Structure 1
Amino acid sequence: MNLLLFTFIGLFANLFVEGRLGLNVDYSVFRHSERESYLEIFYSLQKSKFLYEFKNGRYNISAYLRLDVINIEKDSTLIRKGWKVETSFEDTSKVAGEDIVDVLRFYVPSGKYRIIMRALDLHNTQNYDSVSFDVNVPVFDSKDKLMISSLEFCYSISKSTDTTDVFYKNSYRVVPNPTALYGLNVPVLYYYFELYNVLSGVKGEQFHINISVLDNNQNKVPDIRERKFVRNKVYNSVVEVGTVNVNMLPTGIYYLDVVISEVDGSILAENRRKFFIYNPSVAPRIDTSSITAELLGIDEKSLDDEFSKAVYISTQEEASIYSQLKGVDAKRRFLGAFWARRGGVEFRKKYLERVEQANVKFATRLTPGWRTDRGRVYIIYGPPDEVERYPYSENMKPYEIWHYYNLQGGVIFVFGDRTGFGSYELLHSTLVGEIKNEEWMYLLMQR
């Protein structure tokens, strides 16, 4: 590895910011042995996000990636891997919407792990991305119980005999979809999963597989017919692949639900996994007409700014979908459905009013008010019922205690100015889901 790549690796330590390369990472876990599982980590990068280098009549993309798999319980690194990805093409007009897709495979013991992947554009080192999430890896060690692997969502699955192909798996070419996003341009969801201990775990000579699609409220979607299969008990391990046509589903969050049962209906195993639909041409099941009228005349830059300020109420999946939208019309339709799902015109008006109020009340020299900790709490929970303000003292740095009497029976938020420059950060709260530190006063003591 040359000095340049060592420099990039050092730079990666500071790359936990909003990404620009469209890096998506997902995983699946399958059985390997009684002590280890087979962990697959697959990722994609959006070609159009890279800086192209034109050379020898072709446009070239070059990226450096690094993967760290950390054992959380032992606080140790299990896997550390770095590699380059390069590709080229003759015409940039066909690159929009295309992804680089790859898969990595490892044998790992059971445990809780943190997966961190980073990507850097080698033609523009200011262009980078990172993804981090936690994974529980089980071991499929039960011998008398039917067990099911992860559900893997894919772009395509086809029969194959090419064992040298990186996507080859159990006589199939399985191209994973790390985004789990379907609908526009990807109308068919392909799925893959494995069953283990069939001979000992199924009592009868046959078993049933039921596959259905659920909406975000965990109700079966009537537009997608539930699929039911009967399988004979022949092999101890079984591979199942299939498709679901999702081109008529409206934009939203859905789940693929798989249930394995005996012939008498008793459940043997089940698994469920989330996926996302973006179908701008399919009318949502909620009325968006009034909110869409509110958005008419707003330009694309302003729509982007509005959605960025909705970060406190948007999901990671919605942010991923929005980042891939092209054009003002698509973004306007998306935001129309986004606000409609949360209460429509009045909700949007109140939320954006709180954003502006936060900008007035809490802005610092470097940070707009809505991006501060006090701004976030103000926007999400509204104005506090009471504020206790404590300025500088001989022993303590400035702090505030906000009281909300009607929130979860009464809660507080403690903000402290640890730097002395008016930048109050949240140190402690009694609200469930917020940061909790009963010893917050020690952080403000003058030293």
Structure 2
Amino acid sequence: MSVFAVLFCLATAASAGPRLSVDWAAFAGSGDSTRVEVFYAVPYGMLDYSEFEGGLEAMFAVRFELRGTGFEQEATLYRRAAIESFAAAEAAKRSFVDGFSLAVLPGRYSLRVTLLGLDEPAEAEEPGMVELDAHADSISVPAFTGRPDLSTLQLAAGIIHDTVTGGFSVVPNPARSFGGDGAERVFFYCEGYNLSAAADSYNLKVAIVRAAAPETLVASPQTRFKGARVQTAAALGLSVAGLVPGDYRLAVVLDDRATGARAERSARFRIAGEEEERASGVTYRLQMTQLEAHYHDRLEFIASPRELAYYEALSDSGKQVFLTRFWSRHNLAEFARRMETARERYRVAGTDGIRTDRGRIYIKYGEPDGIERREIEVDRRPREYWRYFNQGYAFVFVDVTGSNDYRLVWTNSPDETRTGYESMLTPDEQEMFR
């Protein structure tokens, strides 16, 4: 499983008083340890903003403290949140979602997560922090040894199946709040452990029941699989359409059909009313200008081959979640600006500038730190040398045909493949760059 370990925006509906939401889940770790993953959501309205590059930004910190018998761990994570405007953030009811992971021994712990406002960026010292909210909980971290067992359930606003790795990407929902317009499914992720390869098959059953009474309201078809490996993972979504606002419980049961061994886990969640906070996979969306919307799905110019293969294999709804995740790690406004600049600056004889080698490199790496042009030399085509000093990259472009369409003939960037023009480097260039 992979979790969105970067800060991104989640659209929720605001309640009367925005509060920090925290959730956690436990999975088998290495050796005797258990991996605890903690997720939190910060409503945009809890933060103080200042103007920054055409939008608004807020600096904040999250301090976590985990204490148990003979164990104590704490750390402070510094974060930056950005919104286009207060009006846009209010319209989308923004929250900022992030998480962290740590390895502990099984047992009971006290968990405290504190949201801190910062007077300055990450250099702020302790006196510059102001406590905005805190969440405290007592958690019981299980051991997963000896018999068939399930991890705790991680409730989610969305699940993406990675067709490249076979794993899952989980969109956390720390508030465990579902329902409302467009939010008609509750998703969960869990792992199964200590399965017997000799077992004929296992059944996985999932149901939504009332929290106050053992009445099954929604049930999924049984999922049957062979016990071909000692560990497996499951990720499903159940419809909550028609459920009235209130508290519910998601129950998951794993049965070994041959021996009768059973593992069970459950997790409480809430169906929100109109005035309550909501979390929805389909409302994970980007707030974009018209220019950004024009370019936000042109991933071939910036994504890795692996990311592109993953993206192309997704459904339409999965692509929307992926794009939100992707642009939380990249600057969409800067990407759109580079696309527009490349179109005009590197246009050649009717060829769109983004389709030229110089345009492609400009979009991917940005403005070079230095450009050296050699245009009039005997027995040598015009060329340009681009250098990116921070990365240590160099690019050599040559006007191969004399049409001003400079082709990339050499680079030391590991992200680029061989160009086929390397033989055009002169001996002095080979000495200069190699």
2:114 aligned to which of 113, 118, 126: 118
Deviations 1:303-326 (A, max 9, x none): xxxxxxxxxxxxxxxxxx85x49x
- 2:69 aligned with 1:56: no
Equivalence for 1:241: 235
Question: Is residue 118–residue 130 contact of structure 2 (8 Å, CA) maintained in 1?
Answer: no
Question: Is residue 155–residue 188 contact of structure 2 (8 Å, CA) maintained in 1?
Answer: yes
- Structure 1 residues 199 and 235, CA, compared in 2 at 3 Å: closer, same or farther? same
CA distance in 2, matches of 1:263, 1:110: 29
CA distance in 1, matches of 2:261, 2:212: 22
1:255 aligned to which of 225, 233, 249: 249
CA distance in 1, matches of 2:22, 2:100: 11
CA distance in 2, matches of 1:272, 1:172: 20
CA distance in 2, matches of 1:221, 1:49: 38
CA distance in 1, matches of 2:268, 2:186: 12
Aligned-partner SS, 2:222: strand
Equivalence for 2:105: 109
Question: Is residue 28–residue 34 contact of structure 2 (8 Å, CA) maintained in 1?
Answer: yes
CA distance in 2, matches of 1:162, 1:44: 29
1:216 aligned to which of 202, 211, 235: 211
CA distance in 2, matches of 1:94, 1:276: 27
2:26 aligned to which of 24, 29, 40: 29
1:199 aligned to which of 196, 199, 207: 196
| Cα distance, 1:177 vs structure 2 | 0.9
Whichever residue aligns with residue 76 of structure 2, its letter is G
- 2:127 aligned with 1:133: no
CA distance in 2, matches of 1:161, 1:227: 23
CA distance in 2, matches of 1:38, 1:90: 36
| Cα distance, 1:125 vs structure 2 | 6.2
| Cα distance, 1:229 vs structure 2 | 1.3
Equivalence for 1:93: 87
Runs of at least 5 residues in structure 2 that lack an aligned partner in the other structure: 1-15, 120-127, 279-434
Equivalence for 2:176: 180
1:81 aligned to which of 70, 75, 82: 75
Question: Is residue 198–residue 235 contact of structure 1 (8 Å, CA) maintained in 2?
Answer: yes
User: 1:26-425 residue pairs with structure 2 within 5 A?
Assistant: 26-71=23-68, 73-74=69-70, 76-77=71-72, 79-96=73-90, 97-122=93-118, 128-142=132-146, 145-160=147-162, 171-185=167-181, 186-199=183-196, 204-222=199-217, 224-263=218-257, 266-280=260-274, 324=277
CA distance in 1, matches of 2:117, 2:242: 37
Whichever residue aligns with residue 57 of structure 2, its letter is N
| Cα distance, 1:34 vs structure 2 | 3.9
Question: Is residue 21–residue 129 contact of structure 1 (8 Å, CA) maintained in 2?
Answer: no
CA distance in 1, matches of 2:129, 2:199: 60
| Cα distance, 1:60 vs structure 2 | 0.8
Aligned-partner SS, 1:243: strand
Question: Is residue 147–residue 197 contact of structure 1 (8 Å, CA) maintained in 2?
Answer: yes
- Structure 1 residues 265 and 213, CA, compared in 2 at 3 Å: closer, same or farther? farther
| Cα distance, 1:94 vs structure 2 | 2.8
| Cα distance, 1:32 vs structure 2 | 1.1
CA distance in 2, matches of 1:212, 1:172: 21
Question: Is residue 148–residue 193 contact of structure 1 (8 Å, CA) maintained in 2?
Answer: yes
| Cα distance, 1:127 vs structure 2 | 6.2
CA distance in 2, matches of 1:20, 1:41: 23
Deviations 1:99-147 (A, max 9, x none): 21111111111121111110122259666000111111122121xx111
Runs of at least 5 residues in structure 1 that lack an aligned partner in the other structure: 1-18, 164-169, 281-320, 326-447
Give the structure-2-normalised TM-score.
0.54
Give the structure-1-normalised TM-score.
0.52
CA distance in 1, matches of 2:237, 2:200: 26
- Structure 1 residues 236 and 199, CA, compared in 2 at 3 Å: closer, same or farther? same
- Structure 1 residues 103 and 69, CA, compared in 2 at 3 Å: closer, same or farther? same
Question: Is residue 23–residue 174 contact of structure 2 (8 Å, CA) maintained in 1?
Answer: yes
Question: Is residue 249–residue 279 contact of structure 1 (8 Å, CA) maintained in 2?
Answer: no
| Cα distance, 1:21 vs structure 2 | 5.4
- Structure 1 residues 276 and 262, CA, compared in 2 at 3 Å: closer, same or farther? same
RMSD: 2.6
Equivalence for 1:288: none
CA distance in 1, matches of 2:96, 2:163: 23
| Cα distance, 1:265 vs structure 2 | 9.1
| Cα distance, 1:250 vs structure 2 | 0.5
After superposing the two structures, state which structure 1 stretch, 117-126 or 100-109, moved more: 117-126
Whichever residue aligns with residue 66 of structure 1, its letter is R
Question: Is residue 218–residue 255 contact of structure 1 (8 Å, CA) maintained in 2?
Answer: no
Q: Which has the higher contact order (CA 8 A, sep 6+)?
A: 2
Aligned-partner SS, 1:94: helix
Question: Is residue 199–residue 226 contact of structure 2 (8 Å, CA) maintained in 1?
Answer: no
CA distance in 1, matches of 2:130, 2:106: 37
CA distance in 2, matches of 1:42, 1:115: 12
Aligned length: 252
Aligned-partner SS, 2:196: helix
Aligned-partner SS, 1:227: coil
